[in-house]
Structure 1
């Protein structure tokens, strides 16, 4: 059963499309002082944020397994990832597992003790935890390209078109 109810959706900021969701998820991670490469989801179709409660969700077309090269760890992200966020912490995490030896283990919490140079800790529902350098989850972001000159033009039927000038 999904945690994303109609009531939650009605009071949330909701974004659609991979490019916009990628931008918004990185923005959220910066806002709560967590490393920007922590949620490397792909082909996202929707993401949402209920600011009042801190509840967030991200949906992608298919599950994705990512290897964090700096620490040599595999992490699997389900088609739907949900959590509650607050400064320096992600709680009630669902849809994220890490591989330890031969077993996939669910993660339930992620937090940073002393941002931005401290350690980032990952906890399981059973209380086991493991810490790594925050730098292992930072991704260098490409410089934003200069935006092209564009102009909005109202069509005959009231539709808005974006045209290059």
Structure 2
């Protein structure tokens, strides 16, 4: 969580409204030219994006297991997911 806190002050942050968090994260994926299904979004409590650095994060209620059927790849998403894009 400390890594996320380092970026929050200057980031776009959405939290509390599951539908809004999902919408904003989908908009970012589309803006970056990434597949909409890249992040299976369930119960997202917070979504943030620090445009200057490209750092983005999601905080969700529980860990999620997902299988990408087309590529037959099983993945696991922790309650905190963050990356630089």
TM-score normalised over the length of structure 1: 0.48
- State the secondary structure of the residue aligned to 1:4: helix
Q: Any gaps of 5 or more consecutive residues in structure 2?
A: none
The secondary structure found in structure 2 opposite 1:3 is: helix
CA contact (8 A) 1:41 1:77 kept: no
Q: Give, in whole Å, the separation in 1 of the partners of 2:67 and 2:31.
A: 24
Equivalent residue of 2:52, what SS? coil
Q: Deviations over 1:63-115 (max 9, x none)?
A: 00011122222110000000111xxxxxxxxxxxxxxxxxxxxxxxxxxxxxx
Q: What is the DSSP-based 3-state SS (H/G/I as helix, E as strand, rest coil) of the residue aligned with 2:28?
A: helix
Q: How far does residue 8 in structure 1 lie from its aligned partner after superposition?
A: 1.5
How many matched pairs? 84
**In 2, distance between residues paired with 1:46 and 1:56?**
11
Bigger strand share:
1
Q: CA RMSD in A?
A: 1.2
Contact 1:65 1:77 in 2 (8 A): yes
SS at match of 2:74: strand
In the TM superposition, what is the alpha-carbon distance from 1:32 to its structure 2 partner? 0.8
**What whole-Å deviation, never above 9, does each CA across 1:106-140 have from its counterpart, x for those lacking one?**
xxxxxxxxxxxxxxxxxxxxxxxxxxxxxxxxxxx
Gaps of 5+ in 1: 86-165
Deviation at 1:61, TM superposition (A): 0.2
Larger Cα Rg: Structure 1 or Structure 2?
1
TM-score, normalised on structure 2? 0.90
SS of aligned partner of 2:29: helix
Structure having the larger proportion of residues in helix:
2
